[in-house]
Structure 1
Amino acid sequence: MGTVQEELVYIGFEGCYVLINWKAGQQNSVTQAGSSSKITVVAMSNEAESSLPFYVEGKVVTGFQRGSKALGFPTANFDDNAVATMPVSMDNGVYFGWVNINNGPVYKMLVSIGWNPYFKNEKKSMEVHILNKFKEDFYGSQIKAVIIGYLRPMLDFNSIDELRKAIADDLEKVVDLLEEPESAVFKDDKYFTAEKES
């Protein structure tokens, strides 16, 4: 059982402050003061939060081939060696941050980490949706990412349309969150231009 904590939390994409009681690692619905609307707050475990920002580098590999075809959101998949570097303390879920390919321009990203419950994945994956349109595939390319924030846990959905809507909502939130000064500073991190250590 997590420790109960009381905390004033700023929900950036909701534009409000809420006072909540929460247990680390659990999802809690709270009511904004003066409003009847519910806001879902997901609290990471202390261990998971301490893992961020997380820097990861690898190769782009062929994934499940459903990001573009089934969902309409193409993804770049990290190789197994990169996935294996994830700290065991990091919760499975949807995160956000910054990414580049072959030391090129740095883009906003949404990244899904874990076993996608809707598709019943048997293998843990790290799938990145880059907020940029590329003219061609870049399988085999070097990919670097800095994961800086946690958005929500992995969820199951009743239909693929529900999943598409959830991803679209995630992307809308991430665009705003990455414009915040404390997030935007990572775009210029020297990590993105440094050569890989041998």
Structure 2
Amino acid sequence: MTRPETIVPETPQPPYPIRHKSQIISGFGRGSSELGIPTANIPVHDELNNLPTGIYYGWCKIYPHPQESDTTDKRPDGQDVLFNHGNNLCKTDLSTVWPMVMSIGWNPFYHNKTKAAEIHIINKFSSNFYGADLEYVVLGYIRPELNYTTKEALIKDIELDISIAKDILKREEYAKYEHELE
């Protein structure tokens, strides 16, 4: 399938904005390790599940999850993941509202059996924050979920999605939602 042109309305159109808060869960670990594009996986709640699969854009903010100590969980592949619940993030990481792109779907390149929602926060963090809470607002749709013949093609498209999202979120009617998460 060829990547379709991204058409962005002047303002978010229904069903957007979609605002929610979720705890970050473990995913497959491929975003960071294989693609160099880390993602925060969140549960696919009904509102997200009703959206077409594809790539979305919006804003998000990280909050430490009330937890006394670090815990460990297992990824679907059996690998242990340290959950620090966001307690290692600096104040700037926690006080900033970040632009994001979100993938909702089956990740056909990886042949997933489970639908996933993965948020790439457009920032470089010094540590992971599995188990933290993530408040987000989805403002629109970039493109449908696509399959790729190479990992390089997938990475190139994700980088284009990030660039498109950054440009859209600079527009006044989209930028104002950043302040709703402060």
**Alpha-carbon distance, 1:114 to partner:** 1.2
Q: Does structure 1 residue 55 correspond to structure 2 residue 19?
A: yes
How is 1:47-196 mapped onto 2 (pairs within 5 angstroms)?
Answer: 50-78=14-42, 80=43, 83-102=44-63, 104-189=95-180, 192-193=181-182
Q: Is the 8 A contact 2:7 2:142 kept in 1?
A: no
TM-score (norm: length of structure 2): 0.75
Other structure's SS at 1:91 match: coil
- Sequence identity percentage: 34
Q: Is the 8 A contact 1:56 1:146 kept in 2?
A: yes
**Alpha-carbon distance, 1:85 to partner:** 2.9
Deviations 1:106-160 (A, max 9, x none): 0000100111111111111110100111111111111011000100000000110
**Aligned residue-pair number:** 148
Answer with 1 or 2: which has the greater Rg.
1
Report the Cα distance in structure 1 between the residues aligned to 2:21 and 2:144, rounded to whole angstroms: 23
**Alpha-carbon distance, 1:42 to partner:** 5.9
**Alpha-carbon distance, 1:50 to partner:** 2.4
By relative contact order (CA 8 Å, sep 6+), the higher-ranking structure is 2
Unaligned runs of 5+ in 2: 64-93
The Cα RMSD (Å) is 2.2
Q: As a proportion of its length, which structure holds more strand?
A: 1
**Alpha-carbon distance, 1:86 to partner:** 2.2
Q: Tell me which amino acid in the other structure corresponds to 2:36.
A: G
TM-score (norm: length of structure 1): 0.69
Report the Cα distance in structure 1 between the residues aligned to 2:49 and 2:127, rounded to whole angstroms: 34
Report the Cα distance in structure 1 between the residues aligned to 2:114 and 2:95, rounded to whole angstroms: 29
Unaligned runs of 5+ in 1: 1-26, 30-38, 194-198
Change in CA separation of 1:94 and 1:60 when aligned onto 2, cut-off 3 Å: same
Other structure's SS at 1:40 match: coil
